[in-house]
C-alpha cells in the first residue's frame, strides 16, 4: 500500500507539474495587443460625397464552420467544426453571396479566420480579398491563441481570427482599437481579445466618416465585461460625434438594439439572452435593424426552424447626423453561418 501511495503521489505530482508548465507556456505566449494599432495609413485617400448615400453590409460568417447542421461547444453543444467537405461548401456559399452584393460600398465581416484548425488552416481574409475584386481589405486580429484545449474530446487548437472590412473607397487610416476589458487569468489566455476596426474617410463637407466594424463580448457570466466594454465604446463614439464627424457602427454586438420588440420574432425568440443596449448611453442616436427577421440562432443544437431559439444581435448604430434609407436582413435560414447578413443604405444629414 505504501508503494502504491508513493506511485500515486508521483503520478499526481507529474500531472500538476504538466498543468503548471502548460499554463506557463501559454501565459508567456499570450497575445497582448496595444490599445491602438495602425493597420493602414494612406498617402492618398478617397473623399466621400455627402450628397450620395452609401451601402454597408455586416455579417458574422462564423468562420464558415457554423452551418445549420452544426452545434457549438461554447453554446452548449459539442462540436467545433464541420467536415472538410461541408466547410468548403460553406465557404463557396458565403463567397457567392458576397459576390452577389458587389454593388455594396462596404462589407463589415466578423469571425473571419486567418489561420485556424477549425477552418482547416485556410486564410479566409486572403480568400475573400481575392474574390472581391475592386475592394480594399483591412484585418484586425481579435483571437490569437496557440492552442485552445477545449473541448477536451476535440480541442479547437490554434486560432488566428478577427474582423475584416472590405471597402470600395480608400480610407485615410484604418486602426484596431482594443476593448480594455477581459476575463481573469488563466481564462483570458484562451479567450478572445475583443476589439473594433475603425476606418476614417474625409467627406466633401470637410468632416469625416468614422466607419466601425465591431464584435462585442459574449459568454460573459453576469455581463460585467459587456457592460464595461459598452461604456468605453460609447464614450469613443460620442467623442467622434462631438468633433462633427459622421459615425456608423456595424457588427455583432452580442446584445439587442434599443427599441427591439421581442414579440416580433415570435415564440422562438431567445429570452435567456435578451440583453438590450440602454438608450441612455447613446441618447438621440439611431439603432438600425430589420425587426422582421432574426440575425442569430442558438448553436446548442442543429438549426430547426421554429424550434431553435433565435435573436437579433447584428445591426447598425449611427450618429444623429446619419440616417438609414433602408435596412434588410437576408434570411438565409442559417444555412452556412449561425448569423444572417444585414444590409443597409445610409445618407448623410446636414
Q: pLDDT tens digits, residue range 6-32?
A: 665 666 666 555 444 545 545 555 567
Residue 187: helix, strand or coil by DSSP? helix
C-alpha cell at 350: 446636414
pLDDT tens figures, 72-110: 988 888 899 999 999 999 999 999 999 999 999 999 999
What is the Cα–Cα distance from 64 to 297, expressed in whole angstroms?
15
What is the Cα–Cα distance from 64 to 111, expressed in whole angstroms?
9
The per-residue pLDDT for 4 is 62
What is the Cα–Cα distance from 138 to 107, expressed in whole angstroms?
11
Residue 235: helix, strand or coil by DSSP? helix
pLDDT tens figures, 92-101: 999 999 999 9
C-alpha torsion angle, residues 254, 255, 260, 263 (rounded to 10): 70
C-alpha cell at 264: 416580433
What is the Cα–Cα distance from 180 to 269, expressed in whole angstroms?
31
**Which residue(s) pair with 108 in the sheet?**
58, 165
C-alpha cell at 4: 502504491
Assess contact for 156 and 117: CB atoms under 8 A: yes
What is the Cα–Cα distance from 220 to 218, expressed in whole angstroms?
5
Of the listed ranges 120-129, 224-233, 238-247, 336-345, the one predicted with least confidence: 224-233
The per-residue pLDDT for 25 is 47
The two counts, helices (H) then strands (E), for the chain are 4, 15
Q: How big, in percent rounded to 5, are the helix, strand and coil portions of the chain?
A: 30, 30, 40
E-state strands within the chain? 36-41, 54-60, 106-116, 136-148, 157-167, 173-178, 195-202, 208-215, 246-252, 286-288, 296-297, 310-311, 314-318, 322-329, 342-348
User: What is the distance between the terminal CA atoms of the chain, rounded to a whole angstrom?
Assistant: 85
Mean pLDDT (whole number) for 148-157: 87
Assess contact for 101 and 71: CB atoms under 8 A: no
Q: Is the peptide bond before 151 cis (omega within 30 degrees of 0)?
A: yes
The per-residue pLDDT for 38 is 98
C-alpha cell at 109: 465581416
What is the Cα–Cα distance from 116 to 119, expressed in whole angstroms?
5
Mean pLDDT (whole number) for 257-284: 87
C-alpha cell at 103: 454593388
How confident is the prediction for the chain on average, in pLDDT? Answer: 90
What is the Cα–Cα distance from 120 to 115, expressed in whole angstroms?
8
What is the Cα–Cα distance from 15 to 334, expressed in whole angstroms?
42
Half-sphere exposure at residue 232, Cβ-oriented, CA atoms within 13 angstroms:
18
C-alpha torsion angle, residues 36, 40, 46, 47 (rounded to 10): 10
The per-residue pLDDT for 265 is 84
Model pTM? 0.92
Of the listed ranges 92-101, 135-144, 183-192, 231-240, the one predicted with least confidence: 183-192
Sheet holding 322-329, edge to edge: 136-148, 157-167, 106-116, 54-60, 342-348, 322-329
C-alpha cell at 87: 466547410
- pLDDT band of residue 264 (cuts 50, 70, 90) is confident
Amino acid at each position: 500500500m505504501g508503494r502504491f501511495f508513493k506511485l500515486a503521489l508521483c503520478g499526481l505530482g507529474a500531472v500538476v507539474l504538466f498543468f503548471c508548465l502548460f499554463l506557463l507556456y501559454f501565459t508567456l505566449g499570450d497575445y497582448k495587443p496595444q490599445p491602438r494599432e495602425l493597420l493602414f495609413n494612406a498617402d492618398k485617400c478617397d473623399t466621400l460625397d455627402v450628397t450620395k448615400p452609401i451601402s454597408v453590409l455586416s455579417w458574422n460568417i462564423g468562420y464558415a464552420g457554423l452551418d445549420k447542421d452544426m452545434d457549438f461547444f461554447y453554446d452548449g453543444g459539442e462540436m467545433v467544426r464541420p467536415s472538410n467537405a461541408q466547410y468548403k461548401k460553406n465557404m463557396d456559399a458565403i463567397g457567392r453571396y458576397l459576390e452577389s452584393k458587389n454593388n455594396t460600398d462596404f462589407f463589415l465581416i466578423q469571425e473571419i479566420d486567418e489561420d485556424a484548425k477549425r477552418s482547416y488552416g485556410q486564410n479566409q481574409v486572403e480568400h475573400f480579398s481575392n474574390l472581391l475584386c475592386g475592394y480594399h481589405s483591412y484585418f484586425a486580429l481579435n483571437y490569437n491563441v496557440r492552442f485552445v484545449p477545449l473541448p477536451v474530446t476535440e480541442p479547437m487548437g490554434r486560432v488566428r481570427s478577427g474582423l475584416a472590412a472590405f471597402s470600395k473607397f480608400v480610407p485615410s487610416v484604418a486602426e484596431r482599437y482594443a476593448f480594455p476589458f477581459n476575463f481573469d487569468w488563466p481564462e483570458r489566455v484562451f479567450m478572445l481579445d475583443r476589439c473594433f476596426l475603425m476606418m476614417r474617410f474625409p467627406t466633401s463637407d470637410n468632416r469625416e466618416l468614422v466607419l466601425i466594424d465591431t464584435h462585442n463580448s459574449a459568454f460573459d457570466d453576469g455581463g460585467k465585461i459587456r457592460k464595461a466594454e459598452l461604456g468605453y465604446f460609447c464614450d469613443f463614439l460620442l467623442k467622434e460625434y462631438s468633433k462633427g464627424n459622421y459615425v456608423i457602427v456595424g457588427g455583432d454586438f452580442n446584445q439587442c438594439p434599443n427599441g427591439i420588440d421581442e414579440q416580433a420574432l415570435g415564440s422562438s425568440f431567445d429570452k435567456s439572452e435578451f440583453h438590450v443596449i440602454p438608450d441612455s448611453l447613446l441618447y438621440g442616436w439611431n439603432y438600425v435593424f430589420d425587426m422582421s427577421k432574426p440575425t442569430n440562432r442558438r448553436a446548442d443544437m442543429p438549426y430547426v426552424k421554429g424550434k431553435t431559439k433565435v435573436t437579433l444581435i447584428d445591426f447598425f448604430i449611427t450618429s444623429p447626423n446619419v440616417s438609414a434609407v433602408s435596412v434588410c436582413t437576408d434570411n438565409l435560414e442559417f444555412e452556412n453561418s449561425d448569423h444572417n447578413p444585414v444590409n443597409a443604405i445610409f445618407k448623410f444629414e446636414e
